Structure 1
């Protein structure tokens, strides 16, 4: 089940919210858990079992750690609990990759080694495993309490708004909200507006760009015009698809009284790669910083060690996205630029149009490796961008590029470039001020009208298009 489907919009969500608001608060975690397991099991009931086992494993080791803080038993419990969570990733996400890579070194394939099975990647496993690991480490560090309430903890791990594609949450940030959170009409209205904006990003923009990106990346030896247009299309598609999901997740959380961390902050106006990673997939950047970069020593040991740590974190961050050498290349590309910017001082340079354009080009080049199905495909695409495959656009390719897709690409670029100004203008012009001093969209005419139009257009688009899952479901 995906957010951008009729089943979710007109069956699951209304039914869940109706039950949620008539259920006494003390039973709502149990209802969230039941709803989340139903949401996840709608895809495959067998992988729901993996989610439940991971939850039980993490909860049990969290209790052991909490009961033995300051002792070697707590250290061992944290190590074993974390290793068990990593084993889930290792088996289901990377085992095929290691077998295929080993077979390639021997000049054969998996079948040649006698391996005739291929594990399916469970949706969202990277996200709920990272949330499980952060809980164990936070309890060990005394940054989070080892909760005794299983329903609160299990609801946190499987919270359906962000279960399959984030943001990556930490229990210590939501612990108080599980014990006590407010439910107001204003918060619900803000959540509906945020959800609708995310739905529009996904269905109206990202899905409209998908055919253009797919055409470019599935065409052998793409020529320069197709390669550059396709790379730009994917750059915009990925942003509006993933940020759209995050908006929808945050909006759903608000409807249920939760406030999740922001996951995107206008990343395509960054003046450096360092700034880009403060604005793109923020929850992942924070997780990698707190649970990998800082434990490796961060920038506290030596300048050389800092560069090694940056490269290590980004390569592992690349592998987190997928078991493919293209993700290793993408992570190394970003890690190299982070190290270079730190060494040269470019990370602290004043923002300028030239720096923004340079950063966008670096990001664009990286997205090619991120999207390519293999290293050969990536190198072929780069050759096309350099003009090595020719500069003409073949007629049989040109006729497949519609005016609508090119127009939507221009619209997407314009929106991404003007997001900071639009947010600031809309915030000053149309936000209502609540008695608490917080801002809300409720009670203002234009936003209500705009979100209604966006929702109607998105639903009409859903009715005419085929199934289109979110891109980050594959990670």
Structure 2
């Protein structure tokens, strides 16, 4: 169920929230479970039943893990992870794997088109982290079945995260309390996320669609398109994260932050500390460190980093462009760490931020085009293959300059500082009127434009 739809905003959300508020405190967890399952069932009716059955089976395996000796726990943990990975590979990578085998051999597979269930990657990582945490003894005790199912189906995070670990989630369930301060903060956060999505992300999505459809782009047009997609994906995903965090605050749960001004990063390493924070942390804790991390000799550190970034690319999609995107960041990180680190540290901070932003924008072009030939043509255009400037370049620039200026301000701490100062300077009702105005403006954009789903729903 998309948070940026008129149906959700004016029908589903008011109904769900009214039911939740009317439920006594002791029953709120169970009502939230019913609401969460209903929300996911609306999106994925068949897979939601399969996921419910899978979650119950995994819960029974988890119970069994608590009753056996340590050497048997590892086998059960591997069974849990194996089941989850099998479903992930089947639904998301079935065609990709078979097409790869066909390319390497002469065997011709008959491929069936499979549509991956919404949020399957986020669901899989949540289940895997739960199994590993349970095996490593990071959970104090086996949770109740209802709490575990709520962790799996919790509707603000199930489709696009942020990825939460069970101990962090469980700590907020007892008891579920709703405060006026958290409700006010949640509403403001939700509206800001909605505005990011429907005003900025959707506008840049339309611009990038226009530019990328042009067969012979000038260099300036190609870079305008690259910047459009760079801002589109940021405001799309961070907008969803803001909305999910805001919804959770309304429900009495605080979710982890997923972004921290990534386009203000002064290095590629710094960028990945700020972008999709919960995913980066997940790969560090459950893949990189178990492989040995940076405690090994240099060849092994390079191999560990290569594995992590190859998997990071594949996590985003079953396509070679995502693999290239992951390898691109592996190369940049290795160059930054072992070759150019000393030089970059001597550069002015502003120059480092600008260079990082440009490298990230180039990387997003690998991400944006599943068709490698189209990707190649676009990258060539960015570096002048079709000329430097054309008449359309000025049209794109002139007609979207205001949105680019808003995007630059909103993706830096400046917007947050203005927001906090305005909130402190104005009386609360005036501040709320400003948020209400932003909400009305967002609804106007929703009503007058074509519906644009969130980009990360496919992951």
Name the residue aligned to 1:97: 96
Cα 1:447–1:103, aligned 2, differ >3 Å: closer, same or farther? farther
TM-score by length of 2: 0.94
Give yes or no for contact 1:181–1:258 (8 Å, CA) kept in 2.
yes
Contact 1:266 1:420 in 2 (8 A): yes
1: distance between equivalents of 2:375 and 2:141? 45
Q: Unaligned 5+ residue runs, structure 2?
A: none
Counterpart check, 1:361 vs 2:345? no
Instruction: Return structure 1 stretches of 4+ with deviation > 6 angstroms.
Output: none
Distance 2:9 2:54 in 1: 29
Partner deviation per Cα, 1:38-91 (whole Å, 9 max, x = no partner): 1112123112123223322332222222333x5222111100001111111100
Q: Using the TM superposition, name which of 41-50 and 353-362 deviates more.
A: 41-50
1-side partners of 2:64 and 2:176: how far apart? 28
In structure 2, the residue matched to 1:423 is 416
Report the Cα distance in structure 2 between the residues aligned to 1:114 and 1:276, rounded to whole angstroms. Answer: 40
The aligned counterpart of 2:70 is: 71
- Tell me how far 1:146 sits from its aligned partner: 4.5
- Aligned CA RMSD, in angstroms, stands at 2.2
The CA deviation string for residues 317-336 of structure 1, in whole angstroms up to 9 with x for no partner, is 01100011111111111111
Question: Is the 8 Å Cα contact of residues 272 and 346 (structure 1) preserved in structure 2?
Answer: no
Partner of 2:345: 349
Q: Distance in 2 between matches of 1:381 and 1:57?
A: 47
The answer to which of 44-53 and 253-262 deviates more is 44-53
Partners of 1:424 and 1:159 in 2: how far apart? Answer: 32
**Residues 220-259 of structure 1 aligned to structure 2 (within 5 Å):** 220-259=215-254
Aligned length: 457
Give the 3-state SS of the residue equivalent to 1:472 in structure 2. Answer: helix
Partner of 1:177: helix, strand, or coil? Answer: coil
Q: CA offset at residue 345 of structure 1? A: 6.7
Contact 1:311-1:339 within 8 A present in 2 as well: no
Q: Does 1:473 align with 2:439?
A: no
Q: Is the 8 A contact 1:203 1:461 kept in 2?
A: yes
Distance 1:243 1:448 in 2: 22
- How many Å separate the matches in 1 of 2:313 and 2:142? 32
> Does the Cα contact within 8 Å between 1:62 and 1:146 map onto a contact in 2?
no
Q: Report the equivalent of 1:278.
A: 273
Gap change, CA 1:225 and 1:422, over 3 Å in 2: closer
Give the Å deviation of 1:35: 1.1
Aligned to 2:294: 299
Residue 140 of structure 2: SS of its match in structure 1?
Answer: coil
Matches within 5 A, 1:392-411: 392-393=389-390, 401=396, 403-411=398-406
Residues 1:4 and 2:11 are matched in the alignment? no
- Per-residue CA deviations over 1:351-377 (Å, capped at 9, x if unaligned) read 601111111111011000000122212
Q: 1:133 to 1:146 in 2, by over 3 A?
A: farther
* Aligned-residue offset at 1:431: 4.9
Match of 2:266, SS state, is coil
Closer/same/farther in 2, CA of residues 402 and 34 from structure 1, 3 Å limit? farther
From 433, 451, 454, the counterpart of 1:449:
433
Residue 63 of structure 1 contacts residue 146 of structure 1 at CA under 8 Å; is this kept in 2?
no
Worse-matched range after superposition: 465-474 or 215-224: 215-224
Give yes or no for contact 2:409–2:415 (8 Å, CA) kept in 1.
no
How do 1:320-359 and structure 2 match up within 5 A? Answer: 320-344=315-339, 346=341, 349=345, 352-359=349-356
Q: Does 32-41 or 328-337 show the bigger shift? A: 32-41
- Structure 1 residue 411: Cα displacement: 2.1
Q: Which residue of 2 aligns with 1:437?
A: none
Q: Does residue 123 of structure 2 align to residue 128 of structure 1?
A: yes
Matches within 5 A, 1:147-166: 147-166=142-161
333-342 vs 404-413, which deviates more? 404-413
Contact 1:272 1:359 in 2 (8 A): yes
CA drift of 1:392 comes to 4.2
Give the whole-Å Cα distance in 1 for the aligned partners of 2:141 and 2:380.
53
Aligned match of 1:215: 210
Distance between the aligned counterparts of 2:263 and 2:10, measured in 1?
34
Q: Deviations over 1:137-179 (max 9, x none)?
A: 0011111234341111111111111110110111011111112
- Structure 1: tracts of 5 or more residues without a match: 433-440
Contact 1:183 1:256 in 2 (8 A): yes
Deviations 1:358-415 (A, max 9, x none): 11111011000000122212111111111113334376x987x485434312321232
Following the alignment from structure 2 to structure 1, what is the Cα–Cα distance between the partners of residues 180 and 449?
33
Query: What's the counterpart of residue 51 of structure 2?
Result: 51
Q: Counterparts of 1:57 and 1:340 in 2: how far apart (Å)?
A: 45
Whether the 8 Å CA contact 2:95–2:111 is kept in 1: the answer is no
